Structure 1
Amino acid sequence: MAASSEKLKQVNKQSIKDYFYEVKFSNKNQLAQATRISKTTCTTLIKELMEEGFLKQTENNESTGGRPSKGYELNKDFYHVCLIMIQNGQLPKIQFEIKNLWGESIEKYEEEVKGSCIEYLQKNLSKLISEDAKISYIALSIPGVINAKDDILSCDIWEFENKNVHDILDQYEIPFIIENDVNLAVVGYHTVEESVVFLYQPGSMYSGCGIMLDGQLYRGSTLFAGEVGYLNGCAFVEPEDFDAAQMTIIEQLTALICVLNPQKIVIQSSYDLEKEKLIDALEANIQKIHIPEIEMTSDIELYISKGLMEAAVDLERDHMKVKEIKKL
């Protein structure tokens, strides 16, 4: 019975933390209503979270007359996260950003790397960690396929292929998560849609997509889901021209719609594709009722950054939509 009571307490405590991660500010009445946890339990757990430093007390500006009611806010500097975005191009590019728990940027910079990416990554991480003792979690995005043991099975940046991320990062003794960049883009984009696909077509052969099904990131049994560049034997084949790129993405969209039937597909392409022409081509083969909402974007870096923040915070939550038990 005692073990069961302690487990319930931890579940309630995590629910309160999740709520403050989302809203940042609240009072006890709002908290109890949103989490459906009794006010008495909220009082006890708020006290614990304040003692731990996770919450701070503040005056609630929404009080209607009389003495201001007690409000609480997420301590934005309870810990910091280090977000690392690794991208391919003519030269590999690595972006570092330190954020607090309100998502405010403390430090941010990026650089094209002419030498070893791994050496550059380690050198800059060592510098950032030595300068900011509050960095408690690290999240990395990479254009590649990562298995459950954090082996990088394939990567647009060849230096990372067949490397295990633990060999690169364990020296820092800080919990980390590494995830495919387009998977993180769909996590960063996803809000209320139950099923959404983020399809990325760069100006190269490495097309890929991130898949959210029923509010959860879907990776597949070997974490290979979303590697649409392999459809129709197109792996490692760069489109010859605009028409070839358009035909390739229509084939990829058709496969995604037929297999996943998502509510929305978000597309970023390095080619100047027109949404209306894509929809017309899809409707030539698929009934209109099955065509999802199509949205074109050019903000994949923004969504990857949001996904990285979600992933870093989810390391602390330990229950979430990004870090999960990966099955092989």
Structure 2
Amino acid sequence: MNSITNNTMLVKKMNQEFVRKALKTMKQGTKSMVAQATGLSVATCGNILNELLDTGELLELGIEESSGGRPARLYRYNENFFYIACIIVRAGVKNRSLTHTVVNLAGETIAEGYQENDRVDPALIDHLVDQLIGQFPQIRAVAIGVPGAVHQGVINLSDIKELINVPLEAYIREKHEVEVILENDMNLTVYGFYQKQEYDEEKTVAVATFIEGSFPGAGMLVDGRIHRGSSHFAGEIAFLPLGMTHEEQFRQLHDRTTFHSLAGRTLSSLIAVMNPEMIALTGSLVEHADVHLIRQECLKYIPEMHMPQITLLEDPEEVYMYGLITMTLESLTYSLQLVEKRR
């Protein structure tokens, strides 16, 4: 396929996305209304609307009432054209868990569920995907949030050893013929947190988690973009050179007499490198009263004028899932081909 053909296809996909966004924003509209909103010609919009109507991605509502001119067809975006299955994998102290939510293209919840297990492995996740697709054949994408570092669709560092070095993303994509997104839990949490702030301009923020039975982790957005690093290792704050072994770090994190000092040093490193607007704390080891104490520890290393706002993240589970849903809907804008793949 030559470059001219590639460019033509790219332009067509971009124009289709302009039309989709216009109809999603307007809720419903005519061909001329879409053309005005997108800046595309009426003829181009007409062709795209017909194509999307044929696939079922658009719905025709009928004819708009005319004020004297030729009646125009009225279109609406079909938010139930396909579904997304969002799965969160958690590593608890005593057990593992899978939380799932099935949403439509508007991010509206269609179904949700939760299960606990002594062990979570690729087979258990695949079994859940099997069940969800069997129940909802409209599922065309699967998004999975995991506690660990993910690089090129493979988990290379995690508290759940069974998931390490398994090509989970590629396996599910090939077996089920769906688009798959595999992402670190803290990246998703900070993304959900950032989106909920509704900033007027791009900001730099972080979320740090301190969970019982686990090492700490962080998610970072720099100037409105997730910072993953060259090998997606960014945010693995348990590897900071704190002058102690991992075993000693784990002990101090779980000791209330040393927790605040260690957490303060960890956050100070984030502040010195990122200079964030805000840091949100989460995890079972953090209590409301800890926020002030940790901030005081940070002030031992960071000048007051450079200190970010430090807050306790309310409802982190909801923020995490919101981040997974939002990121998936946005990332699928150009990558997912909205066609029937299974019959």
Shared fold (TM-score, shorter chain, > 0.5): yes
List structure 1 segments (4+ residues) > 4 angstroms apart after TM superposition. 1-6, 18-21, 28-44, 57-61, 65-72
Which residue identity is paired with 2:188? Answer: L
2: distance between equivalents of 1:87 and 1:167? 21
* CA contact 1:205–1:229 (8 Å) conserved in 2: no
Measured at CA, do residues 92 and 6 of structure 1 come closer, stay the same or move farther in structure 2, by a change above 3 Å? closer
Task: State the 1:313 CA deviation.
Answer: 2.3
CA contact (8 A) 2:261 2:294 kept: no
> 1:247 aligned to 2:261?
yes
Q: Give the letter aligned to residue 215 of structure 1.
A: G
List aligned pairs for 1:160-175, cutoff 5 A. 160-166=163-169, 168-169=171-172, 170-175=174-179
> For residue 265 of structure 2, what is the amino acid of its counterpart?
E
Q: From 289, 295, 303, give the equivalent of 2:311.
A: 295
How many equivalent residue pairs?
316
Please report how far the alpha carbon of residue 75 of structure 1 lies from its aligned counterpart in structure 2 after TM superposition: 1.1
- Structure 2 CA distance for aligned equivalents of residues 279 and 58 of structure 1: 56
Q: Distance in 1 between matches of 2:227 and 2:274?
A: 11
Q: TM-score, normalization: structure 1? A: 0.82
Once the two structures are superposed, residues 123-151 of structure 1 have per-residue CA deviations (whole angstroms, 9 ceiling, x without a partner) of 22212212221110000011011212x22
User: 2:159 aligned with 1:156, yes or no?
Assistant: yes
Alpha-carbon deviations, 1:98-126, whole Å to 9, x = none? 11112222221111113553332222221
Kept in 1, the 8 Å contact 2:96–2:119? The answer is: no
Deviation at 1:223, TM superposition (A): 0.8
CA-CA distance at 1:158 after TM superposition: 1.7
Shift of 1:70: 7.1
Cα deviation, residue 261, structure 1: 1.1
> What letter is aligned with 2:303?
Q
Partner of 2:340: none
AA aligned opposite 2:155:
I
Change (3 A) 1:115 1:257: closer
Taking the aligned partners of 2:263 and 2:63, their CA distance within structure 1 comes to 51
Report the Cα distance in structure 2 between the residues aligned to 1:142 and 1:190, rounded to whole angstroms.
19
1:308 pairs with 324, 328, 340, which one?
324
Cα distance in 1 between the residues matched to 2:204 and 2:180: 27
Taking only aligned residues, the RMSD between alpha carbons, in angstroms, comes to: 3.3
Change in Cα spacing, 1:53 to 1:112, as seen in structure 2 (3 Å) is: same
TM-score by length of 2: 0.79
Instruction: Provide, for residues 66-105 of structure 1, a one-character-per-residue CA deviation record: whole Å limited to 9, x for no partner.
Output: 9999765431211011111100111000112211112222
| Letter in structure 2 aligned against 1:195 | T
Structure 2 portions without partners, runs of 5+: 337-343
Does 2:251 align with 1:272?
A: no
Q: 1:135-146 residue pairs with structure 2 within 5 A?
A: 135-146=139-150
CA 1:116–1:272 in 2, change beyond 3 Å: closer, same or farther? closer
Alpha-carbon deviations, 1:49-72, whole Å to 9, x = none? 3333223345999x9x99999765
Matched letter for residue 114 of structure 2: E
Residue by residue over 1:11-44, the C-alpha shift from the partner in whole angstroms, topping out at 9 and shown as x without a partner, is: 23223334556x4725468866765556665455
Q: Percent identity?
A: 24
Secondary structure of 1:190 counterpart: helix
Write the mapping of 1:1-328 to structure 2, written as runs, cut at 5 A: 3=5, 4=7, 7-18=10-21, 23=25, 25-27=27-29, 35=38, 37=40, 41-58=44-61, 72-89=75-92, 90-115=94-119, 117-148=121-152, 150-166=153-169, 168-169=171-172, 170-191=174-195, 192=199, 193-231=202-240, 232=242, 233=244, 235=246, 237-238=249-250, 239-270=253-284, 271-274=286-289, 275-318=291-334
Between structure 1 and structure 2, the one with the greater Rg is: 2
* CA distance, structure 2, for counterparts of residue 166 and residue 44 of structure 1: 35
Q: Which moved more, 1:2-11 or 1:241-250?
A: 2-11
Do the aligned residues in 1 keep the contact of 2:83 with 2:139 (CA within 8 Å)?
A: yes
3-state SS of paired residue (1:45): helix
Give, in whole Å, the separation in 2 of the partners of 1:285 and 1:115: 41
What is the Cα deviation at residue 168 of structure 1?
A: 4.7
Structure 1 counterpart SS, 2:230: coil
Aligned CA distance change for structure 1 residues 127 and 145 (closer, same or farther; 3 Å): same
1:324 is aligned to none
Structure 1 residues 66, 262: closer, same or farther in 2, change over 3 A?
farther
Post-superposition shift, 1:284? Answer: 3.9
